[in-house]
A and B are shown apart, each in its own frame.
Chain A
Amino acid sequence: MKPTRALLLLPLLMVFLAACGGDHPMSTLDAHSDLTRSINVIYGRIFWWTLLLFILVQGGLIYTVMRFRATGKETTNPEQVHGNIRLELTWTILPVFILLHIAIPTVSTIFESQAPASDDAVTVNALGKQWWFSFEYPELGVVTANEMHVPLGQEVAIRLQSDNVLHSFWVPQLTAKRDMVPGRVNHIKFKAEKLGEFLGQCAEYCGDSHALMKFRIVVDTPEDFAKWVEAQKAPADTVADASKAGFDAFQSAGCVACHAIRGTTAASIIGPDLTHVGSRTMIASGILENNAANIKKWIMDPGEVKPGSKMIDLNLTSEQADSITAYIQTLK
């Protein structure tokens, strides 16, 4: 049996080898907010307890089997032990203390993390759609999609809602997870502790393109955040002739039926607000880089990029698509 047992260590070894290299941009183990850090304190505590118990049980099991293997030469049966009340009490009562050691920080963190946000928090209304996210900053007058900007070190209060199916808002390094449930408002509050872009993804099965419902939170310095807010608040720049022609194409093809571009007549709230879509790094809910080729591909055949996409295939000609693409790129 020895070779079999050695084989069992193989997966462990391979996993550790695989674990050594590489980036893990969505790793829950790298906490970059007060919320996720407090979670990892509890996680660490449980981890060490479970590791101890793991070694105890597996070690005990393997040792017992090795020590008490039958030799085939026994002449009598082993002693017929039926139990031991003291041992039973020990392993019934000892775990209570371990569980208390886990339960106390658990309960206090539950209540702290679910307490109401402070009054000066930046509020964001996050709305889950099939399959993208709308982000509205009600106090700042900003509406955007799939890319949420937040200031470093300041409390952010996200109000999570859905008007369709269930979704779950998850940026592992900043927010942990909370569902978007039709008919309810859920809350996440956190303070980001590191600048940069943090990836997120819907974590509740929501239909065909659940796997393609991605988003990100960009943590800016407070100054950059203020600049971003100013830029987002402004209506779209519609002065240039080129953009006039582009908007005409946008309008005549039917895009206006679902999308809003502030400063123009396009005002529908069915699809993402495109007022400043050119300033986002990704399109189609975080799955394609924001460039001309991708925009064209996306609007010409939405169902190909995103199975079941609610964006209607408008049967655009290549020329129409080019001119709409050029226009969208001007919406910085």
Chain B
Amino acid sequence: MATPAAVPHTPAVGHSASPSGLWSWLTTVDHKRIGILYGLSALAFFVLGGVEGLILRSQLAVPNNDLVSAPLYNALFTMHGTTMIFLGVMPFSAAFFNYMLPLQIGARDVVFPRLNAFSYWLFLFGALVLNVPFLIQPFTQGIDPSSALAPLTRVIPDGGWFGYAPLTTKEFSPYLSIDFWVAGLQILGIASMAAGFNFIVTILNMRAPGMTFLRMPVFTWMTLVVQFLVVLSFPCITVALVLLLMDRLFGTHFYISSAGGDPLLWQHLFWLFGHPEVYILILPAMGIVSEVLPTFSRKPLFGAPFVIFSGITIGLLGFGVWAHHMFTTGLGAAADAAFSVTTMLIAIPTGVKIFNWIFTVWGGQIRLTTAMLFSLGFVGMFTMGGLSGIMHSSPPVDLQQQDSYFVVAHFHYVLFGGAIFGLFSGIYYWFPKMSGRFLDEGMGKIVFGTVMLGFNLTFFPMHFVGAWGMPRRIYTYDEGMGWEQINLLETVGAFILAFGVLLFIISFFRSMKNGLPAGDNPWDASSLEWITTSPPAVHNFDKTPTVYSDRPVWEKNHGPGPGYSLPEGDEHIHLPPPSIKPLIGAVGVGLFLTSFVLLNLTNLALAVTALGLALTFYSFYTWFLEPGH
């Protein structure tokens, strides 16, 4: 962190007074503010995705329901999946990467702060492109299907979050719905890639002196693994989407079998991204749990190197299992057998993690705070999802479970019981650091109880109804299949779950104003974010600590080692100035990619393409000329 700059000056002068107002947020390059923006956006989209889920559940509450039409139901499940994955869980994780990661490694910011802002604004642009169709659709529904504007009659993405070709090709989906989806995902992909490289470089270069790899907090480790997964897997979906775009716009035939293409090419490319994506969603939560369980057991993480290496192993194996999403497609016996075995192998590092977490808690002094409850809940619920995962790792069994509600149960245990429980845990754990106040603990326990109950009532019964043959993605079902009571029960559960989330949101905003003051290190935790003030100053640390342990703050307080030390004297603090260029650049890139949506309608879209490119070049060019500090 030492910069060869000329004038050393006292910290906390000039830099730490945080400017306020809308403009300061639009131009911010502070990783903490960007983290807050990610977090609030994620919360908003999480609620939106939840409402979509509630409509789906309401439709299925009783047989032959007509609350929503078939096309709307199909659009809603498409957007529920897309939203929860790309706009809910991923940016929620990104909120913690942004806010906590530089603090955890003793840095003043990420290595490329303006790129970081660019990532956020581009993410927001992509999220809006995906959701704006909800606002357009009511006005375009009445358009004459034979007119030139017919592609506008369906604009809400409705090809499934997996977008399988050839349903998403122009022949079967001649509407803009798929184009909005393609553009939105493409934009989000670039945002994720930019953030991914930023964090990799940050973790590799910006660690405080003495913080060797094995002294890095486990959350930082899991973040590092996730960023490698992002930069290696997102290119696959980028390519898949470009090919789909070419098929839709320029008459190529990558996915069209009658012209020599192959629909399975889409599935291979999509799942080559899609499976690592599962670990992109779950590993951050695993990192959070690996911070929370030791803290509230007052013990170190049991077998920390094994937890870290199993995280890396899961990440690596994640690239060798994609075809287990394709066991029903007829890849042949040899391929089925091979991908089955690699999939089963993932159970081993996953099990290693679970056992290490339990032994972390074993022998500790357990404080059942809300953060701890959600982390313990994570271990229990994620285990459920892992165990049902073993079932469909066997292709013959998968031939019954694939695309049934059994699989819906499975991945909600992984992504809600796993990822979202972990993220909730992280919110309760780090809220005091981010706000200086506790998030209401009494209410927190009620939130946990309600969410736990609602979650299990919603998703546990899905195992049964799936085993009884209920397929996914059906907007209606008949009486007499034995599915009625279970579906009603699930819907009741979903509303209990939603009520729990509502309680959380109320208590979140109340605690932000009225929560009890927390102090710098309220949980007696072990990593560097706890040595700075709550909330941290703009420059994070007055002095950069030197680290001697994997638990620097704990060891400083409880021994045996010194933990960390602070240098004598003042330090030059180097912070980047705010800039509006990242926002302009994001709008430029976003417009450029979105113009392809309109290109399916009119060639005037080329003007938008040109505008997007112009803004992009203007912003990047002037950005490079801006002084860095």
Question: Chain A: residues with CB nearer than 8 A to chain B?
Answer: 1, 4, 7-8, 10-12, 14-15, 18-19, 22-29, 36, 38-39, 42-43, 46-47, 49-50, 53-54, 57-58, 60-61, 64-65, 68-71, 74, 77-84, 87-88, 91-92, 95-96, 99, 102-103, 106-107, 109-111, 113-114, 130, 160, 163-166, 168, 170, 172, 176-179, 181-184, 186-187, 199, 201-212, 287, 307-308
Instruction: Report A-chain residues with C-beta under 8 Å of the C-beta of B402.
Output: 168, 177, 203
For A50, the chain B residues whose CB sits under 8 A away are 387-388, 390-391
Contact, CB under 8 Å: B348 / A92: yes
Least Cβ–Cβ distance between B591 and chain A, in angstroms: 31
A81 & B397 in contact (Cβ 8 Å cutoff): no
**B457 CB contacts on chain A under 8 angstroms:** 10-11, 14
Is the beta-carbon distance between A107 and B302 smaller than 8 angstroms? no
With A11-B453, A46-B391, A164-B166 as contacts: A25 and B480 at CB distance below 8 Å = yes
B25 — which chain A residues lie within 8 A by C-beta? none
B340 adjacent to A103 (CB under 8 Å): yes
Q: Is the CB of A102 within 8 A of B400?
A: no
Mark the stretch among B121-129, B240-248, B258-266 that contacts chain A.
Answer: B258-266
Q: CB-defined interface of B430-472 with A at 8 Å, one 1/0 digit per residue?
A: 0000000000000001001100110011001100100111111
Asked if B257 is an interface residue, CB under 8 A from chain A, the answer is yes
A68 close to B332 (CB less than 8 A)? no
Binds A, one of B82-90, B194-202, B481-489: B481-489
A61 touches which of B347, B379, B472 (Cβ 8 Å)? B379
Is A78 within 8 A of B471, CB to CB?
no
> B409-441 vs A: 1/0 string, CB under 8 Å?
000000000000000000000000000000000
Partner of A78, one of B74, B299, B368, B464: B299
Which of A15, A91, A181, A204 sits near B403, CB closer than 8 Å?
A: A204
Which of the 9-residue segments B108-116, B315-323, B350-358, B531-539 touches chain A?
A: B350-358
Docked-complex contact B397 and A43, CB < 8 angstroms? yes
Is B167 close to A, CB under 8 A?
yes
Question: Among B390, B475, B489, which residue has its beta carbon within 8 angstroms of that of A46?
Answer: B390
Q: Is B499 interfacial (CB-CB < 8 Å)?
A: no
CB contact between A81 and one of B172, B299, B401, B485 (< 8 Å): that residue: B299
A residues in contact with B379, CB < 8 Å: 57, 61
**Chain B residue contacts of A187, Cβ below 8 A:** 330
Q: In the complex, what residue of chain A is closest to B476 when comparing beta carbons?
A: A211
Taking a contact as CB atoms closer than 8 A, the residue among A43, A166, A211 that contacts B166 in the complex is: A166
Q: Contact between B355 and A82 (Cβ–Cβ < 8 Å)?
A: no
A-B contact list, 30 entries, CB within 8 Å: A1-B368, A12-B460, A18-B489, A24-B468, A24-B469, A28-B401, A29-B467, A54-B384, A57-B379, A58-B380, A65-B376, A69-B366, A78-B299, A84-B302, A87-B355, A91-B355, A92-B348, A95-B347, A130-B172, A163-B258, A164-B172, A172-B400, A182-B263, A183-B258, A183-B261, A201-B474, A207-B172, A208-B71, A287-B478, A308-B70
Across the interface, do A205 and B473 meet the contact criterion of CB distance under 8 Å? yes
- Interfacial chain B residues near A81, Cβ < 8 Å: 299-300, 302, 359, 363
With contacts A61-B380, A111-B337 taken as known, whether A47 is within 8 angstroms of B391 at the C-beta atoms is yes
Interface residue? B152 (CB, 8 A): no
Cβ-based interface call for B336 (8 A): yes
Q: Is the CB–CB distance between B400 and A78 below 8 Å?
A: no
Judging by beta carbons under 8 Å apart, are A7 and B449 in contact?
A: yes
Complex Cα gap A78–B365 (Å): 7
Q: What size tier do the contact residues of chain B reach?
A: 35 or more
Note all chain A residues with C-beta closer than 8 A to B464.
15, 18-19
A106 & B258 in contact (Cβ 8 Å cutoff): no
Given contacts A68-B363, A211-B476, contact A176 B263 (CB under 8 A): no
The answer to whether B363 and A102 have CB atoms under 8 Å apart is no
- Of the candidates B330, B336, B354, B367, the one whose C-beta lies within 8 Å of that of A57 is B354
B27 within 8 A of A: no
In the assembled complex, B509 has its CB within 8 A of some CB on chain A:
no
Please report whether the interface of chain A is mostly helix, strand, loop or mixed according to DSSP: mixed
B394 at the interface (CB under 8 A from A): yes
B621 within 8 A of A: no
Judged by a CB distance under 8 angstroms, whether B1 is at the interface is: no
Chain A residues whose C-beta falls within 8 Å of the C-beta of B595 in the assembled complex:
none
Judge whether A4 and B452 touch: CB under 8 Å: yes
* B579 at the binding interface (Cβ < 8 Å): no
Contacts of B336 in A (CB 8 A): 110, 114
State whether the Cβ of B306 lies closer than 8 Å to any Cβ in chain A.
Answer: yes
A-B contacts besides A50-B390, A91-B352, 12 pairs, CB < 8 Å? A10-B457, A25-B469, A43-B397, A61-B380, A68-B366, A69-B366, A168-B328, A181-B263, A207-B167, A307-B69, A308-B70, A308-B71
Query: Chain A's nearest CB lies how many Å from the CB of B504?
Result: 16
Does B493 sit within 8 A of A, measured CB to CB? yes
**Which of B164, B356, B366, B472 lies in contact with A166, CB distance below 8 A?**
B164
**Cβ of B303 under 8 Å from chain A:** yes
The one of A70, A170, A176, A211 that contacts B366, using a Cβ cutoff of 8 Å: A70
Question: A9: shortest Cβ distance to chain B, in Å?
Answer: 10
User: What is the bound-complex CA distance between A49 and B258, given in angstroms?
Assistant: 45
Please state if A54 and B387 are interface contacts (CB–CB under 8 Å). yes
Q: Which residues of B contact A205 (CB under 8 A)?
A: 74, 160, 164, 167, 403, 472-473
B341 CB–A CB distance under 8 Å: yes
B230: Cβ under 8 A from any A Cβ: no
Interface pair A307/B70, CB less than 8 Å apart? yes
Measured between C-beta atoms, what is the minimum distance from A217 to chain B in Å?
A: 14
B548 contacts the other chain (Cβ, under 8 Å)? no
Q: Is the CB of A64 within 8 A of B461?
A: no
